[in-house]
């Protein structure tokens, strides 16, 4: 699916903010599941030299949100430490086998885009160049999208996940700290 005009415009605005802040760094696209973060991340690829890492690949299962920030340490260090390292790593989580899988090498590009729930944690706030909150305000539409993406078999996890992610967002003040808001696919003032 290609992004619509609103998402393309949001991607251009995110890119403009990236350029205004630095020549390289870390961009986090955080917000509730199935709100359009992946679509925005893919649209950013058209506007910037980025490496996109999906937190779903790093997140250790449905109950692993609290451990995600520590799992992202190496990647964030790779893209922010001086001298910058040539690549970073994370251990991919296999959702079908419900266990950690292979180590994935992530080559360094000027920008790392961390896309997904939990990417904008307080643990890494000092290292993030730009934090973007992406939200679809219709919770039933988010659930429909999520189940269409992940399958009907995960329905039993969705309600708990929505509670867990809200607790995480409140604890880390993600929306409150965001530099940009993309609500229902449209860039909004913060």
Neighbours of 47 (CB within 10 A): 16
36: left (phi over 0), alpha (psi -120 to 50) or beta: left
**What pairing do the DSSP bridges indicate for beta strands 111-115 and 130-135?**
unpaired
Q: What structural domains does the chain harbor?
A: 5-183 (3.40.50.300)
Contacts of residue 137, defined as CB under 8 A and 6 or more positions apart, other chains included, come to 183, 184
Structure confidence by residue, pLDDT tens digits, 109-165: 899 999 999 999 999 999 999 999 999 988 888 888 888 887 888 788 888 888 999
Pairing of strands 180-183, 130-135: parallel
Q: Count the neighbouring beta carbons within 10 Å of the beta carbon of residue 57.
A: 16
Say yes or no to pLDDT of 4 above 80: no
Residues 6 or more apart in contact with residue 83 via CB below 8 angstroms: none
pLDDT, position 182: 92
Give the residue ranges of DSSP H helices in the chain.
5-21, 37-44, 55-58, 68-71, 73-80, 139-150, 155-172, 174-177
**Listed residue (131, 116, 118) closest to 25, CA to CA:** 131
The predicted-structure confidence for 58-106, as pLDDT tens digits, reads as follows 999 999 999 999 999 989 988 888 777 888 899 999 998 999 999 999 9
pLDDT digits 0-9 by tens, 17-41: 988 998 889 999 999 998 999 999 9
CA 98 to chain centre: 21
Task: Give backbone dihedrals phi and psi of 110, rounded to 5 degrees, phi first.
Answer: -55, -35
pTM: 0.91
């Amino acid at each position: 699916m290609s992004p619509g005009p609103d998402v393309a415009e949001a991607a251009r605005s995110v890119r403009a903010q990236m350029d205004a802040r630095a020549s390289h760094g870390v961009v986090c696209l955080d917000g509730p599941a199935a709100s359009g973060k992946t679509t925005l991340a893919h649209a950013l690829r058209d506007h910037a030299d980025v490496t996109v890492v999906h937190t779903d690949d790093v997140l250790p299962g449905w109950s692993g949100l609290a451990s995600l920030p520590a799992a992202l340490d190496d990647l964030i260090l790779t893209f922010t430490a001086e001298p910058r390292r040539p690549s970073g790593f994370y251990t991919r989580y296999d959702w079908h086998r419900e266990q950690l899988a292979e180590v994935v090498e992530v080559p360094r590009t000027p920008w790392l885009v961390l896309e997904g729930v939990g990417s904008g944690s307080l643990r890494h706030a000092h290292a993030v160049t730009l934090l973007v909150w992406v939200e679809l305000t219709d919770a039933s539409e988010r659930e429909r999208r999520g189940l269409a993406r992940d399958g009907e078999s995960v329905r039993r996890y969705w309600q708990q996940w929505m509670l867990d992610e809200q607790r995480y967002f409140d604890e880390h003040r993600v929306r409150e700290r965001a530099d940009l808001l993309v609500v229902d696919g449209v860039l909004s003032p913060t």
